[in-house]
């Protein structure tokens, strides 16, 4: 236990009021909001990645089906339609890839905002800790001054009762 925390136990902290407490609460609420947005964004990324995996599986299945059919029943028009369908699926998968990349970029940006917000909160918490330490030191100084006045008063009262000067 540090000296200041031991001294803090001697001081009644009920009188301590942190002037920036409302601002600190606001920053904490902002952090909670950012964390909520980050969770939603991560969920959106997971869903988009799952859709992309499903699209890839469908693409692979369709390509395999097309390859089997080209050998079983050689129909050039059906084969061209199948290739056009695969090309369209590939374009859709490319769009999904770009969407996932954009979501990941948003996540990186939001993580940066969360980090900056956490730093602001950490700074406020450190400031509050310093303010509490200052409050404890001031309370101890006032208690020591009062104890000195009491001691001087008792010494003077003893000297008056005993008839001698201090």
Encode pLDDT of 86-96 as tens digits: 999 999 999 99
Give me the helices (H) in the chain, please.
3-10, 21-72, 76-162
Q: How far apart are the first and last CA of the chain?
A: 41
Rounded to 5 degrees, what are φ and ψ at 73? -130, 95
- Domain positions in the chain are 21-123
Using alpha carbons, list the distances in angstroms from residue 47 to 43, 88, 100. 6, 21, 10
Q: Any idea which of 25-29, 138-142, 154-158 has the lowest mean pLDDT?
A: 154-158
Residue 6 has pLDDT above 80, yes or no: no
Q: What percent of the chain has pLDDT over 90?
A: 67
Model confidence over 76-128: pLDDT tens digits?
888 889 999 999 999 999 999 999 999 999 999 999 999 999 999 999 999 99
Residue with tokens 């693409």: 59
Measured in whole angstroms, how far is the alpha carbon of residue 46 from the centre of its chain? 20
Residue 17 has pLDDT above 80, yes or no: yes
Model confidence over 31-73: pLDDT tens digits?
999 999 999 999 999 999 999 999 999 999 999 998 888 777 7
Cβ neighbour number for residue 71 with a 10 Å cutoff: 7
């Amino acid at each position: 236990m540090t000296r200041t925390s031991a001294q803090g136990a001697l001081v009644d902290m009920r009188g301590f009021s942190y002037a920036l407490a409302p601002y600190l609460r606001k920053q904490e609420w902002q952090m909670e909001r950012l964390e909520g947005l980050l969770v939603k964004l991560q969920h959106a990324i997971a869903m988009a990645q799952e859709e992309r995996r499903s699209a890839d599986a469908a693409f692979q299945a369709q390509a395999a089906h097309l390859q089997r059919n080209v050998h079983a029943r050689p129909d050039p028009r059906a084969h061209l339609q199948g290739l056009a369908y695969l090309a369209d699926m590939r374009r859709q998968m490319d769009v999904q890839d770009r969407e996932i990349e954009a979501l990941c970029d948003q996540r990186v940006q939001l993580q940066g905002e969360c980090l900056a917000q956490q730093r602001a909160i950490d700074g406020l918490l450190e400031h509050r800790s310093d303010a509490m330490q200052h409050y404890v030191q001031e309370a101890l100084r006032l208690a020591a001054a009062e104890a000195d006045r009491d001691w001087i008063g008792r010494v003077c009262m003893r000297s008056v009762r005993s008839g001698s000067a201090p």
